[in-house]
Structure 1
Amino acid sequence: MWPILWTAMRTYAPYVTFPVALVVGAVGYHLEWAIRGTPKPRKEESIQELREERKLQEKAGTDSTQVLSLKEKLEFTPRAALNRNRPEES
């Protein structure tokens, strides 16, 4: 009798365990939401949006009329490779 019972349980196990797992999962899901409460909507921002916000905040503290002149910017640029063979002006 036991071998017949074990064979039947092994054969019909997927048909029994799936509905049981479905019911347990649904009960657990609703119980978790009841305990946790309703979720607060969270604002999802991309990394690019966060970067733009940070740059705007950095710009807000500076004076936008004070900029470097082109001459000051060129002092820090490296010399071009094509100018290496030209004689330097004294």
Structure 2
Amino acid sequence: MWPVIWAAARTYAPYITFPVALVVGAVGYQMEWFIRGTPKQVVEEQSILERREERALQEAAGKDLTQVISLKEKSEFTPKAVLNRNRQEKSSN
């Protein structure tokens, strides 16, 4: 008789274990919330991106954004390319 029972249990294992696991999970979930108590309200923090945007807006609040550096002036401050660092300048010869 035992071989027949084991064969049936092996065949129908998913149909037996899923409802059992579902009940055990639901009971465990309810017990956890009973032990912990009611959940507290979570205060949402601003993300890093939101903080960065807020800081940029505060910095830009007192500036005149129509006054920008021209591209000609800006090109003087660009660093030399990494591959050209060890080459001698033409003007230094």
| TM-score bucket (shorter structure) | 0.5 to 0.7
Q: Does 1:42 align with 2:43?
A: yes
State the partner residue of 1:78: 75
1:30-69 deviation digits (Å, cap 9, x = unpaired):
2222233313233264554232223245x28xx82688x6
Secondary structure at the counterpart of residue 77 of structure 1: helix
Task: Quickly say closer, same or farther: Cα 1:30–1:50, change in 2 above 3 A.
Answer: farther
Task: Quickly say closer, same or farther: Cα 1:4–1:41, change in 2 above 3 A.
Answer: same
Secondary structure at the counterpart of residue 12 of structure 2: helix
State the partner residue of 1:10: 10
TM-score calculated relative to the size of structure 2: 0.53
Supply the distance in 2 between the matched residues of 1:8 and 1:65 (Cα, whole angstroms): 79
Gaps of 5+ in 2: 77-93
Q: What is the aligned-residue RMSD (CA, Å)?
A: 3.3
Aligned residue pairs: how many? 73
Task: Quickly say closer, same or farther: Cα 1:50–1:36, change in 2 above 3 A.
Answer: farther
State the partner residue of 1:26: 26
Q: Percent identity?
A: 55
Cα distance, 1:26 vs. partner?
0.6
TM-score calculated relative to the size of structure 1: 0.54
Gaps of 5+ in 1: 80-90
